Structures are given as C-alpha cells and as structure tokens.
C-alpha cells in the first residue's frame, strides 16, 4: 500500500504541474504555443513569451481571465506599467507583442477578439528613445577593417572583416546575419544575393557587392579549405555556427581593439542615415513595415537645414526694398 500511495501522490503532483487549473494557466499554455509559431527566430520567440508573461502576471494579480478582456482592461495594464515607470517604447513593444499573440490565437479560433489590436485596443503612444543607438562612425569601422584585413591567414580576422563589411552595406540585423548560409547565398557575377528570415518570419532580401563581396569570398575560401562547404557561413573557430550573441561580441571586440565603440545595431543606424537612397527604398531594404520606423533611425537633423536656410532680415529688406 505504501508503494501504491507514493505512486498516486507522484501522479497527483505531475497532474498539478501539467493540467492548467486557472484561466490564466490555460491562456499561458496557448500563448506559449502561439509564440513558438510567430517567428523562426529563437530570440524573437523568447521576447514574445517574456512580454506575454508580464501580461499573464497582471491578469493573475487582478484575477482577470485573459481570454475575455476588453480594451479598457488593457488600458489599465498600460497605466500600471506607467506607474512602474517603464518607458513608452517598452509599453508599446509589449502591446505589439500581445497584439501578435492574440491575433495568432484568434486565427486559430481559440478566442474571438483581439483587445490589443491597433484598431480595437488602446492608442499607441509616441515613443522616442531617450538614448538612441549611436551611429557606427566611419573612422572606427575603417580602423577595425584595416586591423582585421591586415592579418593574413587568420580565420577570425577574415570572418570579422566580412561581418563588418556586410553590416555596413546592408544594415542587417544580427538575427538575419546568422541565417546566411551556403544554401541561401546566390552569387551574381561579383555580387551576392541572399534571402533570410527577419522579424515575425518575414523574409528579408540582402544584396551586396564590392569589398563586402570580396571579404565574403575570402571567408568562403577558408571554409572550403577546412572542409566546411555547406550550412552557416559565419562560424566560430571551433566550427560551431555563430549565434546572435557571438556576432555582438565579435563586433564589440573589433571596435574596442581600435579604441572605439561598435555594436551591430549601430551599423543599421549608419545604413539608414548615410545611405542616399530614397526613404521608401531604405524602408524596403531594412524590412520596415512603416516608413515612420525608418525615419527613427535617421540621425541626420533635417530641421537644422531649415534654420540654416532662413535668410537674415536685412537680406530680405535689401531685396528691391520690399519684404
């Protein structure tokens, strides 16, 4: 009887862990599944789930069923986040994440409405980063490239040179960079074309030529020589495919070696600021759904030109004696 009782107690513990007992637990299970289906990127999935957990915690605290909520309840959550002194950018990100999760659950017919949607949910706030990502300075990037490309037969130097050059000419995210593989690359004369997964599973097209293409040629030659002819292009010296964290560390290290500061995202700012292409062209290249997002990355102060162009009052007064 003692053994049977222990087995039964174990089963009860397992059942308690596995079977949802509250509306919040049921929703958490469905939301987790939705997060896994919303993106091919592990980083993005984790970000969605982290934001979903914050909402679930609020619902548990207030004893709210997450399936049957109104926009007014969502607005109450926003007010609580304000009391926690979270930035508007963070609040908007959480609302957008939950909007995507609820939309997925609605399409799967697990609920009827999306109280987080832009149309039915609370109005999104105007968010401006207090400390925007700085632009990657050309002087620092050039110095880092000179250092890397000056090292012959050094795999990590060749790899990092390719990373820096591709980041500079494409403004790609780290999540896209690690997805570049032999199978996805297409060479067109002296240029490369590649389509890789971006945010929310959307495919992002990259194209680069010139010195970025030559840097990649050198890296691929080294991989061929070591017998690696398929799979991920960017790898650690051990052969393991790089992940986003590895890209960040490599770029940070190269900037530090030349006495500067570089981060992968700062290259995206440089691409969208210094690129002379039209706004809609830069928007398409960056994979932004809205041109407003593209404008946020532009570190050029266009308003300064208006101040500079304003003529002196005397100049107008002397213009045929009239104003």
Are 159 and 258 contained in the same domain? Answer: yes
Q: According to the model, what pLDDT value does residue 277 have?
A: 85
Read off the pLDDT of residues 223-277 as tens digits, 9 standing for 90 and up: 999 999 999 999 999 999 999 999 999 999 999 999 999 999 999 999 988 888 8
Are 101 and 200 contained in the same domain? Answer: no
Displacement of CA 195 from its chain's centroid (Å): 16
242 secondary structure, DSSP code: P
Burial class of residue 319, CB neighbours in 10 A (0-12, 13-18, 19+): exposed
Range of the domain at 238: 138-300
Q: Is residue 233 part of a domain?
A: yes
Mean pLDDT, the chain, rounded, equals 85
Choose from 56-65, 104-113, 122-131 the range with maximum mean pLDDT: 56-65
**Strand 185-188, strand 203-208: pairing:** unpaired
More confident residue, 136 or 233: 233
Residues 273-300: what's their mean pLDDT?
Answer: 80
Residues 102-126: what's their mean pLDDT?
Answer: 84
Are 64 and 195 contained in the same domain? Answer: no
Q: What is the band of 185 on the pLDDT scale with cuts at 50, 70, 90?
A: very high
Are 179 and 231 contained in the same domain? Answer: yes
Are 36 and 159 contained in the same domain? Answer: no
Please tell me the pTM assigned to this model.
0.64
Count of domains forming the chain: 2
Judged by phi (left if over 0) then psi (alpha if -120 to 50, else beta), residue 153 lies in left
Q: Is residue 210 part of a domain?
A: yes
């Amino acid at each position: 009887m003692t053994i049977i009782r222990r087995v039964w107690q174990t089963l009860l513990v397992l059942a308690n862990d596995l079977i949802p007992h509250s509306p919040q637990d049921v929703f958490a299970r469905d939301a987790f599944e939705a997060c896994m289906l919303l993106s091919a990127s592990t980083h993005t999935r984790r970000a969605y789930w982290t934001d979903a957990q914050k909402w679930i915690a609020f619902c548990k605290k207030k004893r709210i069923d997450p399936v049957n909520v109104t926009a007014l309840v969502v607005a109450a959550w926003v007010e609580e986040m304000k009391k926690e002194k979270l930035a508007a950018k963070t609040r908007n990100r959480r609302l957008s994440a939950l909007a995507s999760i609820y939309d997925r659950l609605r399409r799967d017919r697990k609920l009827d409405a999306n109280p987080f949607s832009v149309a039915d949910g609370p109005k999104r706030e105007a968010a401006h980063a207090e400390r925007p990502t700085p632009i990657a300075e050309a002087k620092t990037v050039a110095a880092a490239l000179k250092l890397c490309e000056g090292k012959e037969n050094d795999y990590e130097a060749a790899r990092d040179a390719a990373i820096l050059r591709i980041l500079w000419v494409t403004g790609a995210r780290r999540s896209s960079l690690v997805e570049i593989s032999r199978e996805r690359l297409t060479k067109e004369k002296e240029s490369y074309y590649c389509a890789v997964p971006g945010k929310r599973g959307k495919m992002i097209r990259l194209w680069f030529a010139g010195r970025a293409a030559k840097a990649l040629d050198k890296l691929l030659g080294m991989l061929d020589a070591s017998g690696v002819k398929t799979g991920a292009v960017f790898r650690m010296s051990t052969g393991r495919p790089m992940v986003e964290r590895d890209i960040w560390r490599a770029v940070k290290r190269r900037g530090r070696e030349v006495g500067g500061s570089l981060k992968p995202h700062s290259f995206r700012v440089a691409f969208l600021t210094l690129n002379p292409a039209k706004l809609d062209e830069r928007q398409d290249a960056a994979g932004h759904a809205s041109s407003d997002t593209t404008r946020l990355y532009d570190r050029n102060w266009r308003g300064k030109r208006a101040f500079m162009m304003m003529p002196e009052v005397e100049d107008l007064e002397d213009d045929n004696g009239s104003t």
